Amino acid sequence: MTQKLKVGIVGGTGMVGQRFVDLLDQHPWFEVTAIAASASSAGKTYEQSVQGRWKLTSPIPEAVKNIVVLDASKVEEVANQVDFVFCAVDMKKDEIKALEEAYAKTGTPVVSNNSAHRWTPDIPMVIPEINPGHLEVIAAQRKRLGTETGFIAVKPNCSIQSYVPALHALLDFKPQVVIASTYQAISGAGKNFTDWPEMLDNVIPYIGGEEEKSEQEPLRIWGSIENNEIVKANAPLISTQCIRVPVLDGHLATVFVSFENKPSKEEILDRWQQFKGRPQELGLPSAPKQFITYFEEENRPQTRLDRDIEQGMGVSAGRLREDSVYDYKFVGLSHNTIRGAAGGAVLIAELLKAEGYIQAK
């Protein structure tokens, strides 16, 4: 590729927006040319707009420091400067839906980190290794929106990335019941320990809306396209508890699962080791070479040691063993703001580019 696609980040000053900025620095296919945020940030340079609230350990990339932040609500102004946008805004759901559709109707593809459109029937919610075929529904969505080139695609909730890939590799054995408890980092709430000191030495056994997402979104990912809409799968039955723990990054899950056709432990480990998806086949820039890494050690995966595996884009598993109530139990781990948020969205954009859905305007 000789010329990079021009990218806008809508909601670029928040934690996920900052992660987009970081991940896109020196990206081989994409270049950030516009950053948009609330009206209060508009008119400032990006460096000025995040002064005192830059949440990452890496510095602000030099390439974006002097970009003047635009008002995200001025859709045409932003859209005219880019080939597509990433969206990670902090607004009410109805406002997010309207904003993302407004961008799409300008002919601008939208890759969203937000939850607002995850259940819109003709909008694909994608983990690129798992359900790339759902992108086919974009044609129907474009017709509904009245655009030839614009559309919306979304990534799923960050918590499910820690266990859905491991289960997906085992779908041939027909998982019937899944019980998962997730232990979720504070960055999932857009926080660090400086601005959320109440989390130090503390566990909060509730994250609003998270359990419903964790139980239902995997079924949509495993669903099928019928009459130009994505219809969710009816199995497995999933029950979850989602808990906030004093960890900066990384969502860990403990998982119990029963199958219609129980595999051997060796079969499970082989499926995890061998699993590859469309991103690996295409050699996409952000795709992990090894999607699922299994640790033999009894005390792995550990959040701090293993969340950055494959630059934060891989998922890891460990402690696979038979269970006295269910067939098996295991532990899963993923990086919530990389694979589970901005990195996952970048990988979706790479897939959309490779499959011809995103092109230069």
- R_g of the chain computed on alpha carbons: 20
Given the residues 134, 168, 251, 335, select the one marked as catalytic: 251
Residue 335 and residue 307 in contact, taking contact as beta carbons nearer than 8 Å: yes
Given the residues 158, 168, 242, 335, select the one marked as catalytic: 158
pLDDT-derived band at 74 (thresholds 50, 70, 90) equals: very high
Task: Confirm whether 251 is a catalytic residue.
Answer: yes
pLDDT tens-digit series, residues 139-166: 999 999 999 999 999 999 999 999 999 9
pLDDT at 352 over 80: yes
Which of 187, 129, 191, 182 is CA-nearest to residue 159? 182
pLDDT tens-digit series, residues 215-240: 999 999 999 999 999 999 999 999 99
Other C-beta atoms closer than 10 Å to the C-beta of 120 total 18
Q: How far is CA 53 from CA 73, 187, 195, 316, in A?
A: 22, 13, 10, 31
What pTM does this model have? 0.97
How far is 72 from 150, CA to CA, in rounded Å? Answer: 17
Question: Would you tell me the crossing angle of helices 93-105 and 138-145 to the nearest 10 degrees?
Answer: 90
Residue 332 and residue 253 in contact, taking contact as beta carbons nearer than 8 Å: yes
Q: Which residue stretches of the chain are H helix?
A: 15-24, 46-49, 62-65, 75-79, 93-105, 138-145, 164-168, 210-221, 265-274, 278-282, 303-306, 343-354
User: Most distant CA pair in the chain: distance in Å?
Assistant: 61
Task: Confirm whether 242 is a catalytic residue.
Answer: no
